[in-house]
């Protein structure tokens, strides 16, 4: 048996996994480029696209967000998704980059659902009175942001980080911060712009108050359940959102 040539570089046969929403987005981009969907054309409804591609409506919605970020369509909630005209030659340098391969909102929420209820469970046994007061203060910050109708949601983010800090486990805090960094990305932010409502923000405040009460009870199971319910409420709200 001949010996392998050590000077010969190994062949990289790694196959990169492409997220399903990106496959749908790439297909729609190709169809737009081919002229199947002309400028001003309203795309097929989410339901029909989901049926056509054999995927969930959530997946289709994420694909449409990717197309919007790439400057190929505009989303008008309640009216539909419309193809944008191609840019003029002098606008080419201002085009956004190619569709980014980023974690989708559903990816982020699944990660949060796996981690944050366990963080809350631990925090119920480790949080001090001072920790709980800090956590509660961020709920009040959320109320202030809601009252002022601000675009920022610093109270929400810091609320969740404060619970992680209360576990006294820096690794859990770092993991949570890494997940929440994904929520600063263009896809998550675009989705929030399209579906955020005052009523929704008020619902999240109520969820957060329930989490504080659960933490103050000192019951790990109650705190875990309250956080799990909150994240599932967010997932259900996003799943129910419709561009058209």
Q: 3-state class of 74 per DSSP?
A: strand
Q: Do 239 and 114 meet the contact criterion of CB atoms below 8 Å apart? A: no
What does the pLDDT read at residue 93?
44
Tokens of 239: 């799943």
Cα distance between residue 167 and residue 176, in whole Å? 12
Length, in residues, of the chain: 244
In the chain, % helix, strand, coil (3-state, to 5) comes to 65, 5, 30
The whole-model pTM stands at 0.83
Phi, psi for 76 (deg, rounded to 5): -120, 100
Q: Which CATH architecture has domain 20-94?
A: Orthogonal Bundle (1.10)
Dist. CA 88–CA 92, nearest whole Å: 7
Environment class of residue 142 by beta-carbon count within 10 Å: exposed (0-12), middle (13-18) or buried (19+)? buried
Q: What Å distances lie between residue 62 and 11, 58, 77, 125, 241, CA to CA?
A: 34, 6, 14, 38, 12
Spatial contact of 125 and 220, defined as CB atoms under 8 Å apart: yes
Q: Write out the residue limits of the CATH 1.10.10.10 domain(s) in the chain.
A: 20-94
Q: Does pLDDT of 220 surpass 60?
A: yes
Average pLDDT score, the chain: 88
Rounded Cα–Cα distance for residues 118 and 113 (Å): 9
Cβ atoms of 31 and 72 within 8 Å: the answer is no
Mean pLDDT of 146-160: 92
What are the residue ranges of CATH 1.20.120.530 in the chain?
105-240
Q: What is the 3-state secondary structure (H, E, C) of 172-225?
A: HHHHHHHHHHHHHCHHHHHHHHHHCCHHHHHHHHHHHHHHHHHHHHCCHHHHHH
- State residue 3's pLDDT score: 52
- In the CATH scheme, what is the code of domain 105-240? 1.20.120.530
Instruction: Provide the angle, in degrees to the nearest 10, between the axes of the packed helices 57-69 and 20-33.
Output: 50
- Lowest average pLDDT, out of 26-40, 81-95, 97-111, 127-141, goes to 81-95
Q: Is the pLDDT of residue 99 over 80?
A: no
């Amino acid at each position: 048996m001949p010996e392998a040539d050590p000077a010969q570089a190994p062949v990289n046969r790694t196959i990169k996994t492409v997220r399903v929403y990106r496959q749908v987005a790439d297909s729609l981009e190709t169809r737009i480029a081919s002229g199947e969907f002309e400028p001003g054309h309203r795309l097929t409804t989410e339901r029909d696209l989901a049926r056509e591609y054999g995927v969930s409506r959530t997946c289709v919605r994420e694909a449409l967000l990717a197309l919007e970020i790439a400057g190929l369509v505009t989303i008008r909630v309640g009216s539909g998704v419309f193809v944008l005209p191609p840019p003029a030659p002098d606008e080419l340098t201002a085009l956004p980059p190619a569709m980014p391969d980023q974690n989708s909102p559903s990816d982020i929420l699944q990660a949060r659902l796996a981690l944050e209820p366990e963080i809350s469970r631990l925090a119920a046994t480790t949080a001090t009175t001072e920790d709980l007061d800090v956590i509660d203060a961020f709920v009040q910050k959320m109320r202030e942001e809601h009252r002022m109708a601000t675009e920022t949601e610093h109270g929400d983010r810091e609320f969740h980080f404060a619970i992680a800090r209360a576990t006294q486990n820096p690794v859990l805090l770092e993991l949570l911060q890494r997940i929440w960094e994904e929520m600063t990305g263009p896809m998550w932010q675009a989705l929030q712009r399209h579906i955020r409502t005052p009523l929704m923000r008020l619902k999240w405040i109520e969820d957060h108050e329930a989490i504080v009460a659960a933490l103050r009870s000192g019951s790990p199971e109650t705190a875990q359940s309250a956080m799990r319910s909150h994240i599932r409420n967010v997932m259900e709200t996003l799943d129910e959102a419709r561009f058209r």
